[in-house]
Amino acid sequence: MKIQITNKSKINNPVEFIPNNDPAFINSFEGVFDERFFKDANFIHLGENYESYLKYQASNLDALKNSLNSIDLQLEYIWLIIFRNEDERVSTSFVIKTNTNNEGLTIFWRKYLSRAAGSGQNDLFLVRNHENVQEGCIDKIKVKFTDYIKNPNLFLTSL
């Protein structure tokens, strides 16, 4: 089932990317976000330690969290899959959703890797509730993660 980001827009759910019975499948998780997944090598959740797979995104996590604090957003829900790509290297794909703030803004962080070696995207979907969209403005934009981190206000004011 796809992840609904607006009334009319959905993104692929990484948990469903590779079936559990596929030899490339390692693990998946969907549930409440906990930053220890990225940062704590001793944190075991439902019998799994995700930090060894996600630690490479920890600095991106910190940069995003710093940006989100100023606009009253916190990361709250994650969809995550861990799998082997065509070169047998471990890969991760995830979507992390924030809460919705008083201005009707929600952000989805998508780190996408496919089975093809070297492929991937790291982007954000900035989504504003329909009721909070100003006349003549749009309700969502997709932004490269690095572009957003460099200048979040540029993108936040465009919604």
| Beta-sheet strands, E only, within 34-104 | 75-84, 90-98
Range 92-96 average pLDDT? 96
Residue type for position 82: I
Q: So what's the pLDDT on residue 141? A: 93
Question: Could you tell me the CA-to-CA distances from 157 to 18, 30, 38, 71, 75 in Å, in that order?
Answer: 37, 31, 30, 12, 21
Six-digit token string for 5? 């980001």
Cβ–Cβ under 8 Å, residues 115 and 131: no
**pLDDT tens digits along 68-86:** 999 999 999 999 999 999 9
Closest CA to 3 of 109, 92, 100, 83: 109
pLDDT higher than threshold 90 for residue 156: no
Q: So what's the pLDDT on residue 5? A: 94
Six-digit token string for 21? 């019975």
Residue type for position 45: H
CA angle 40, 97, 157 (to 5 degrees): 120
Where do the domains of the chain lie? 3-156
Cβ–Cβ under 8 Å, residues 85 and 115: yes
Range 106-121 average pLDDT? 88
Measured distance between the N- and C-terminal CA atoms of the chain, rounded to whole angstroms? 27
Q: So what's the pLDDT on residue 23? A: 94
pLDDT band, residue 130 (cuts 50/70/90): confident
3-12, 133-142, 148-157: segment of lowest average pLDDT: 133-142
